[in-house]
């Protein structure tokens, strides 16, 4: 039995992990798939001051209060940054990292240094994408799955994109890590993920999938996540 925390990316919530989380739980694993502060069903909490660090601090506290150990942190897309920060804050509780098409920046870098997010909605505290942009992002999914996901896409706290990443000790430590790159995805790109894998001395996996393999290929992704 493995304990896993699944950390979602931009414009999403914990809901995006449902196909993968269901399979993992049916196999007897303990799975947490929280919606980050200001995301998913927590959109009403959007406000100034939400950053990668503040979202990570909340999850780090969750690990502590739930007294969880030997946790596998699984992060995707923008959630990769939250994953790294949670690992830095709770090194003693984390056994392994799995980064799926994930952003993994160095201390002081900003997400916009690597990718240009598709932003067509800006409320001042959060950003989002138009229905047309969502359609393009989800184009590789089946029509039914794409509709299901598009109905749940929302705004993401703007500070996550604008503020520099704070990782004072993460990259100086040794981690048991895997990087899973999706060949059909445009962001964050192979070069960025290769840099991450090299710096972490991580195992390298590739999938013939778009940016949302947890929706398009949950069974294959489950095998890779558990394989390490």
- In tens digits, the chain (228 residues) has pLDDT values of 999 999 999 999 999 999 999 999 999 999 999 999 999 999 999 999 999 999 999 999 999 999 999 999 999 999 999 999 999 999 999 999 999 999 999 999 998 888 876 767 899 999 999 888 888 889 999 999 999 999 999 999 999 998 999 999 999 999 999 999 999 998 899 999 999 999 999 999 999 999 999 999 999 999 999 997
DSSP assignment letter at 130? -
pTM of the model: 0.96
Cα separation of 120 and 75, whole Å?
25
| pLDDT score for 134 | 87
| pLDDT score for 119 | 66
Question: Which is nearest to 117 in space by CA: 77, 165, 166, 75?
Answer: 77
| pLDDT score for 211 | 95
Torsions phi, psi for 84 (to 5 deg): -65, -40
Residue appearing with tokens 């001051």: 49
| pLDDT score for 43 | 96
| pLDDT score for 113 | 86
Q: Are 222 and 1 in contact (CB under 8 A)?
A: no
Question: Which is nearest to 182 in space by CA: 170, 196, 193?
Answer: 193
Using DSSP's 3-state secondary structure scheme, residue 18 falls into: helix
| pLDDT score for 148 | 96
Structure tokens that stand for 94 in this block = 């984390």
> How many Cα neighbours within 13 Å face the side chain of 160?
30
Using DSSP's 3-state secondary structure scheme, residue 32 falls into: strand
Neighbours of 183 (CB within 10 A): 11
Domains of the chain, start order: 3-227 (3.40.50.1820)
Question: Which is nearest to 114 in space by CA: 195, 210, 169, 204?
Answer: 195
């Amino acid at each position: 039995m493995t304990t896993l925390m699944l950390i979602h990316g931009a414009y999403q919530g914990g809901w995006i992990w449902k196909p993968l989380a269901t399979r993992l739980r049916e196999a007897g694993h303990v799975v947490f798939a929280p919606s980050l502060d200001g995301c998913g069903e927590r959109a009403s909490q959007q406000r100034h001051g939400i950053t990668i660090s503040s979202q990570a601090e909340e999850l780090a506290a969750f690990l502590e209060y739930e007294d969880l150990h030997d946790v596998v942190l699984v992060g995707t897309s923008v959630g990769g940054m939250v994953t790294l920060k949670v690992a830095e804050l709770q090194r003693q509780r984390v056994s392994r990292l799995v980064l799926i098409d994930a952003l993994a920046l160095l201390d002081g870098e900003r997400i916009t240094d690597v990718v240009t997010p598709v932003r067509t909605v800006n409320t001042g505290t959060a950003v989002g994408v138009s229905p047309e942009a969502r359609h393009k992002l989800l184009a590789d999914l089946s029509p039914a799955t794409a509709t299901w996901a598009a109905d749940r896409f929302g705004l993401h706290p703007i500070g996550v994109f604008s503020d520099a990443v704070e990782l004072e000790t993460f990259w100086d430590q040794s981690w048991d890590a895997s990087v899973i790159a999706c060949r059909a995805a445009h962001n964050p790109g192979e070069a960025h993920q290769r840099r991450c894998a090299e710096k972490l001395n991580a195992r390298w996996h590739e999938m013939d999938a778009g940016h949302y393999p947890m929706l398009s290929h949950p069974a294959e992704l489950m095998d890779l996540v558990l394989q390490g």
